[in-house]
Amino acid sequence: MYWIALCPSRNEDATAWGWRALRFTPRVAGVDEAIVLEVGASERLFGGRSRLLRALFKGVPALECEGWAGADTSLQALSLLRLKRRGEEMPAELPGGLPLDTFTAAVPHLHTLERIGCTTLGQLRGLPRAGLGRRFGAGLLQALDAACGQRPERYPWLTLPAAFDQKLELPALATSAPDLLFAGQHLLTRLQSWLQARNLGALALELEWTLDLRKLDGKPLPPTERIELRTAQPTQDMQHLRRLASEQLARSKLSAPANQLRLRTLDTVPWGGLTTSLLPEDHKPGERLHQLVERLSVRLGEQNVVVPQPVQDHRPECMQRWMPADGAGWGEAGTSAPSRIAGVPASPQPTNRRAKTNVASDPLLPPWLLREPLRLQVKGDQPCYQGPLQLLTRPRRLEAAWWDPGVTQPVLRDYFIARSASAGLLWIFRERLAADQDRARWFLHGLYA
């Protein structure tokens, strides 16, 4: 068996360290000022003791540790940790050389033991057991046997809650968004440890703060205020969640100073890990595209950051619609945008006169479609656009929208690819001649590069 004892630098980090340790072993407990974990059964799983130790202390800049020590039993590891923190030399012999003042069970009896010249664990073991039991009680003997590996060590093992819901009393009243974000860093650190230990990814969180005042200028205030953080893909990246919280809090105004923070999960899914690649071009620096879109959606508003979604429709201008990027779900499968984008939106979201389309769905579709088809002049049954147009293809007939209850007349068009001497290749269509028309109408709908 191999036990590790570590001492968090702050009391609020003890829970996070305990949850983090549960990634490596289920036998984790809080003993006095330290956290102890038995990793003997997990060494082979993590590639040996040295690799396990590197993984335990790697990638936790927000979690500080005053020191750690390892030994065959938890009490030996705890005694060695206390020696390290005091800056004393390690004993040459274990466990006999450990000082009694680092042994918790012997601290109440130190004065008596020092008077008889007993200052180390080895000297204590050399005393008659019957006399020790009568003089100091059975608890000291049981702890002595556990420290020497002759008795199993039993602790109330740490377990993870089913859902993350943690509160934090603020050391001082928070009057601004940066104050809340600085205090919430401790809760995000605990959340990361909880997600990693349960192998989950967060999709939605709620950050709530309690107001210190009940009334302000005679007006009643709500007891709490809150914001929600949502991501398109499950994440364990606290840096991204911190950025989202920063953008949300920057747009929020505290009604009154806050004295307590609460962070809880709203939606989590099993964590499948990050997709990695051996190709160097796949490891680009910076944040991912979906993280950038989520951050911009929070900063600029959901309706101002939109993505196209394909729609099953034969009309080119109705083949896509624009949806808020934050709620469109386009990042759930790991893609940055829909693979098929065609046509222009029916809603007036873009500000440019022309909207770009993708020719991958149909090689005859032009790269650019006009927002509104432009009616062309007709001279002698020949359409004109900066001069007469030469038709290069046979008509491609389109009949659609007859099933749509909102459309009074179905769409009946014949599309052509035409050449203009000054404008190049154009995509035009001719409306089918109606009963009350004596001449067909021509329209320009797209441009080729």
CA distance linking residue 5 with residue 147, whole number of Å: 13
pLDDT range class, residue 354, cuts 50, 70, 90: very low
Tell me: pLDDT of 288 over 90: no
pLDDT range class, residue 3, cuts 50, 70, 90: very high
Q: What per-residue confidence (pLDDT) applies to 20?
A: 86
Distance of CA 229 to the CA centre of its chain: 10
Q: What per-residue confidence (pLDDT) applies to 266?
A: 93
Provide the token pair at 315: 């009309």
Tell me: pLDDT of 40 over 70: yes
CA distance linking residue 286 with residue 84, whole number of Å: 39
Q: What per-residue confidence (pLDDT) applies to 295?
A: 78
Provide the token pair at 138: 């059975």
pLDDT range class, residue 37, cuts 50, 70, 90: very high
Answer with the residue of higher pLDDT: 277 or 329. Answer: 277
CA distance linking residue 28 with residue 26, whole number of Å: 6
CA distances from 74 to 136, 200, 408 (A): 22, 30, 81
Tens-digit pLDDT profile for residues 138-154: 889 999 999 998 888 88
Tell me: pLDDT of 263 over 90: yes
- State the Cα angle at 26 between 91 and 268, rounded to 5°: 135
Closest CA to 77 of 57, 95, 51: 95
Tens-digit pLDDT profile for residues 81-111: 999 988 888 888 888 889 999 989 899 999 9
Provide mean pLDDT across the span 34-61: 87
Tens-digit pLDDT profile for residues 209-235: 999 888 877 788 888 998 898 888 888
Q: CATH assignment of 165-270?
A: 3.30.1490.100
Domain coordinates in residue numbering, the chain? 3-147, 165-270, 368-447
CA distance linking residue 39 with residue 116, whole number of Å: 38
CA distances from 93 to 2, 81, 122, 345 (A): 17, 15, 9, 78
Q: 171-206 b/e with 16+ CB inside 10 Å = b? A: eeebeebebbbebbebbbbbbbbbbbbbebbbbebe
Range with the poorest average pLDDT among 160-169, 267-276, 438-447: 267-276
Q: What per-residue confidence (pLDDT) applies to 358?
A: 42
